[in-house]
Amino acid sequence: MSLFEKAGKKFEETKRMFTDGKEAEYVCRSCEEPVAENCGYCPHCGEEAVEPVE
């Protein structure tokens, strides 16, 4: 397994941990953290960069 595959797998595991095993519907473009709902700002970094996951 390559370094990028390992990093991708770890990222997915972490993302699922923060979203209780559900796919995140939104993500912050600034800090790339999953966001549970469409807010006016990111609860992690405060930026107004929340957008739907495609």
Looking at residue 20, its pLDDT comes to 61
Q: How many domains does the chain have?
A: 1
The Cα 8–Cα 14 span in angstroms is 10
Domain region containing 30: 3-52
What are the b/e assignments for 11-43, b being 16+ CB within 10 Å? eeeebeeeeeeeebebbbeeeebbbeeeeeebe
Per-residue pLDDT of the chain (54 residues; tens, 9 = 90+): 688 888 877 777 776 666 565 666 888 889 988 887 877 888 889 998 888 887
Looking at residue 16, its pLDDT comes to 67
